[in-house]
């Protein structure tokens, strides 16, 4: 299960502009539970917490894995009213599954990305860069993730391309499963309001993007996951042209010898002129860095960082230890504190219902 938000830092936030279409006010509902229910068949082992049992009911490969939706739909209609979807659009799932229960030992997740619409393709993703112990490392796309159990919780370690260096750790503290039955259009409103499924509630000339008569397949469900960051995570990127994709970043300056002399600095990307007094100089990820006192306008709080490294001043964004992950779904004006993942049956239900 993935972290999908972030500054010019989270990989999807860098290269994907998620369209904010208005979510529908669909009614209907299903009961929720933070413990296993008869729809799912996790390991059921007595040494698992309730959260871990719900996690396994989705995440184990034998149970179909967990699926996170992402999309950007550019739509038009012809003179005859036929819906046309721009080939630059995308609507896909980020899929992850564990081969066995993490209770038996750390598991490497199998990760893939699949377009839900046969007419569209998965976009090319630019890997995210992180600073770890003074070195820039690249987080690949798709992700490399190892999952383990920490007390009653679920911990996911996201790795650099070397398959060893941890660039970000997430701790899942709450897993709530919600069964789905009946018409997709009559699903719980939060499913449309708080996930990218809300993209489908848009209509063009009265035409729906999915079959309003379609129903959820037996066993369909979604899971609401609450997670937080473990340890500081410093995402880095180019401060100026040229754009790069590897470990060699384009610095903000190569002439300033000390951070104190770098300010004031006018950031065109942030629309802010940063002053020395507006942050604190400390050591972050093995380098001397200035960290802003004010969070960036991201769903999950992140803080602008300027750091000294290899004779230059570089830019990054710091996600602090213990920060709760938040999302900003389509049409939302304020973030919420959980992520929604579909199980395999629900994913196939959506895929079969699409009209494009």
Q: What is the mean pLDDT of residues 247-267?
A: 95
Q: What is the pLDDT of residue 288?
A: 97
Contact 3, 325 (CB under 8 A): yes
- Mean pLDDT score of the chain, rounded to an integer? 87
Assign 9 a pLDDT band (cuts: 50, 70, 90): very low
Classify each residue of 146-174 as buried b or exposed e, where b means 16 or more C-beta atoms within 10 Å of its C-beta: bbebeeebbbbbbbbbeeebbbbbbbbbb
The full set of domain ranges for the chain reads 11-127+148-161+177-230+328-353, 233-319
Query: pLDDT tens digits, residue range 236-249?
Result: 999 999 999 999 99
On whether the CB atoms of residues 289 and 323 are closer than 8 A, the answer is no
Calpha distance 154→171 (Å, rounded): 6
Q: What is the pLDDT of residues 115-137, one digit of tens each?
A: 999 989 999 988 899 999 999 99
Q: Give the mean model confidence (pLDDT) for residues 43-51.
A: 76
Question: Can you give 85-125 as a three-state secondary structure string?
Answer: ECCCCEEEEEEEEECCCHHHCCEECEEEEEECCCCCCCCCC
In the numeric block, which tokens belong to residue 49? 């917490």
- The span from the CA of 154 to the CA of 160, in Å, is 20
Query: Looking at the predicted structure, is the pLDDT value of residue 251 above 90?
Result: yes
CB atoms within 10 A of CB 218: 10
On whether the CB atoms of residues 336 and 327 are closer than 8 A, the answer is yes
Q: Please state the pTM of the whole predicted model.
A: 0.85
More confident residue, 202 or 155: 155
Is 60 exceeded by the pLDDT of residue 18? no
Q: And the tokens for 164?
A: 């060893």
265, burial (CB in 10 Å: exposed 0-12, middle 13-18, buried 19+): buried
pLDDT at position 146 is: 98
């Amino acid at each position: 299960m993935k972290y999908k938000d972030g500054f010019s830092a989270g990989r999807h936030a860098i290269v994907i502009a998620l369209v904010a279409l208005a979510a529908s006010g669909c009614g209907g509902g299903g009961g929720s539970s933070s413990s296993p229910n008869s729809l799912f068949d996790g390991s059921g082992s007595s040494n698992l917490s309730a959260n871990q049992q719900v996690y396994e009911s989705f995440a184990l490969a034998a149970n179909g894995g967990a699926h996170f939706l992402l999309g950007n739909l550019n739509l038009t209609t012809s003179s005859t009213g036929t819906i046309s979807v721009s080939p630059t659009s995308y609507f896909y799932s980020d899929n992850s599954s564990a081969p066995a229960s993490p209770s038996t030992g750390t598991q490497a997740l199998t990760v893939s990305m699949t377009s839900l619409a046969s007419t569209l393709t998965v976009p090319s993703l630019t890997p995210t860069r992180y600073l770890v112990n003074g070195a820039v490392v690249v987080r690949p796309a798709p992700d490399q993730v190892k999952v383990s159990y920490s007390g009653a919780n679920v911990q996911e370690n996201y790795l650099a391309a070397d398959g060893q260096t941890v660039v970000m750790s997430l701790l899942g503290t709450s897993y709530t499963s919600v069964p789905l039955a009946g018409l997709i259009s009559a699903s719980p409103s939060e499913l449309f309001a708080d996930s990218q499924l809300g993209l489908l509630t848009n209509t063009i000339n009265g035409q729906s993007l999915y079959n309003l008569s379609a129903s959820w397949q037996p066993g369909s469900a979604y899971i609401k996951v609450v997670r937080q960051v473990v340890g500081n995570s410093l995402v880095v990127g180019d401060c100026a042209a040229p754009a790069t994709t590897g470990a060699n970043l384009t610095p903000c300056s190569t002439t300033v010898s000390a951070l104190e002399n770098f300010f004031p600095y006018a950031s065109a990307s942030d629309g802010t002129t940063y002053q020395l007094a507006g942050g604190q100089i400390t050591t972050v990820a093995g380098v001397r860095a200035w960290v802003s006192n004010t969070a960036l306008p991201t769903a999950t709080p992140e803080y602008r960082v300027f750091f000294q490294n290899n004779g230059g001043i570089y830019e990054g964004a710091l996600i602090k230890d213990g920060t709760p992950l938040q999302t900003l779904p389509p049409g939302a004006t304020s973030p919420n504190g959980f992520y929604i993942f579909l199980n395999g049956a629900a994913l196939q239900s959506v895929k079969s219902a699409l009209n494009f």
